[in-house]
């Protein structure tokens, strides 16, 4: 699995299924498993309140089941991602997304029917209700896992398409001898951030703060001098001892009375440039039109 995919996964949050879809799913489950009893309730002239209540209990059980799977999946996405720790996530999903909802839902439905003194063993499927709920909960977890990877792949394709469009506007020198990513340690792993996504880098004490065009911020430690040597000077400029900006992030500048200048970035950031650096930065900015037409 490539690191670019991991980078997208690091910022990825899947929305999954809507509450309306889950409600409809529970209605379908209830309808399919209790149709003979439901049909009897609808067409019978002698209504039995226990029949209504048992149907409500089964529907509520399915609602509880889907809600637990939905909630546990979203919580586990933040703790252990599918694409980064697949084996660990399988175990956690089986425990909290499958086994726990299965036991709780089956126990509560059985308890409700026992209290109502209802025996639904003669109804379609409910004689094997445990295996039915097991099938449903496994299917739900498989759908959530499939939805996650499908959404992540779609997100990754959109990012690559955007990068391809942006790359076509970048100077040719950007693809020659300079790195295309900045590598950031992430525990026992690392994140590779495409340079085309970088807005600016700023030294804050010992840390380097990297901000992307979409507003994401990453903190890491590395000498700014070494980072500068890996960056294409046609695309990036060190405007001060503690800051490097990208050409795509630049918006405008204003001259200051003391001979310095004020840089305005597209993300509403203002950075002061000293008088000693101002001439160099202006020369770099004057190459903007030339770089874009290469």
Quick one: tokens of 186?
A: 């992430």
**Mean pLDDT, rounded, for 212-216:** 88
Angle at 292 between CA 173 and CA 179, to 5 degrees: 30
pLDDT at 291: 45
Report pTM: 0.45
184 pLDDT tier (thresholds 50, 70, 90): confident
Average pLDDT on 89-105 reads 87
The percent of residues in the chain predicted with pLDDT above 70, rounded, is 72
Closest CA to 220 of 258, 261, 191: 191
Q: What does the pLDDT read at residue 6? A: 37
Averaged pLDDT, 56-81: 84
pLDDT at 202 over 70: yes
- Cα–Cα nearest to 186, from 88, 73, 85: 85
- As a whole number of angstroms, the distance between CA 265 and CA 168 comes to 22
> Parallel, antiparallel, or unpaired for β 217-220 and 181-186?
unpaired
* 276 vs 123, higher pLDDT: 276
26 pLDDT tier (thresholds 50, 70, 90): confident
């Amino acid at each position: 699995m490539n690191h670019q995919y991991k980078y997208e996964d690091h910022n990825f949050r899947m929305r999954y299924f809507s509450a309306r879809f889950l409600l409809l799913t529970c209605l379908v489950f209830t309808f399919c498993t209790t149709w003979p009893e439901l049909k009897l309730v609808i067409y019978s002239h002698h209504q039995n309140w226990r029949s209504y209540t048992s149907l409500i209990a089964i529907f509520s059980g399915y609602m509880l089941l889907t809600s637990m799977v939905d909630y546990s999946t979203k919580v586990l996405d933040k703790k252990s991602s599918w694409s980064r720790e697949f084996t660990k996530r399988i175990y956690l999903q089986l425990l909290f997304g499958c086994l726990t909802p299965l036991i709780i839902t089956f126990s509560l439905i059985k308890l409700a029917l026992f209290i109502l003194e209802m025996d639904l063993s003669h109804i379609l499927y409910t004689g094997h209700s445990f295996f039915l709920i097991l099938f449903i909960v496994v299917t739900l977890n498989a759908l959530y896992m499939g939805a996650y990877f499908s959404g992540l792949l779609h997100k990754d394709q959109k990012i690559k398409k955007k990068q391809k469009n942006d790359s076509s506007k970048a100077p040719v020198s950007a693809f020659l001898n300079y790195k295309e990513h900045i590598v950031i340690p992430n525990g026992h792993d690392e994140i590779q951030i495409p340079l085309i996504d970088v807005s600016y880098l700023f030294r804050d004490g010992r840390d380097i703060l990297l901000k992307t065009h979409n507003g994401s911020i990453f903190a890491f430690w590395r000498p700014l001098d070494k980072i500068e040597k890996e960056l294409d000077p046609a695309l990036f400029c060190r405007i001060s001892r503690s800051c490097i900006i990208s050409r795509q992030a630049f918006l405008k500048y204003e001259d200051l009375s003391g001979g310095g200048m004020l840089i305005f970035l597209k993300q509403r950031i203002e950075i002061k440039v000293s008088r000693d650096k101002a001439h160099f930065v202006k020369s770099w900015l004057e190459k903007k039109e030339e770089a874009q037409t290469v």
